[in-house]
Amino acid sequence: SQQGEEDPQALSIQEGENATMNCSYKTSINNLQWYRQNSGRGLVHLILIRSNEREKHSGRLRVTLDTSKKSSSLLITASRAADTASYFCATWGSARQLTFGSGTQLTVLP
């Protein structure tokens, strides 16, 4: 069964604005990862947050994890046109495989 589910499915913002994407999942996890995919290409790992962590930062990225609500959010601050891509959350849990959501398509308008 599908584990991660991103929200919204699509997001369009102006350059310089912040973009927030959410991920919800169903069962307990060991870690949650965010990946980015430019159109028709491979996925690139952005950040990994473990189940005992609540927040992590990497450059303009901020990820939060709320295990009580089984949800995570990815915030991209001061967005740029080059941030236009699909963003996926992926969970690792008892199934012992990374399970991906359907992704959020982010468009940053110049």
Which residue, 40 or 110, has its beta carbon nearer to other proteins?
A: 40
SS (H, E, C) the chain: CCCCEEECCEEEEECCCCEEEEEECCCCEEEEEEEEECCCCCEEEEEEEECCCCEEEECCEEEEEECCCCEEEEEECCCCHHHCEEEEEEEEECCCCCEECCCEEEEEEC
Which residue, 18 or 30, has its beta carbon nearer to other proteins?
A: 30
Which listed residue (10, 18, 41, 58) binds other proteins by CB under 8 A?
41
Which listed residue (79, 99, 106, 108) binds other proteins by CB under 8 A?
99
87 binds other proteins per the rule CB under 8 A: no
Which listed residue (11, 61, 75, 98) binds other proteins by CB under 8 A?
98
The residues of the shown chain that bind other proteins, judged by CB under 8 A, are 2, 4, 30-31, 33, 35, 40-45, 48, 88, 90, 92, 96-103
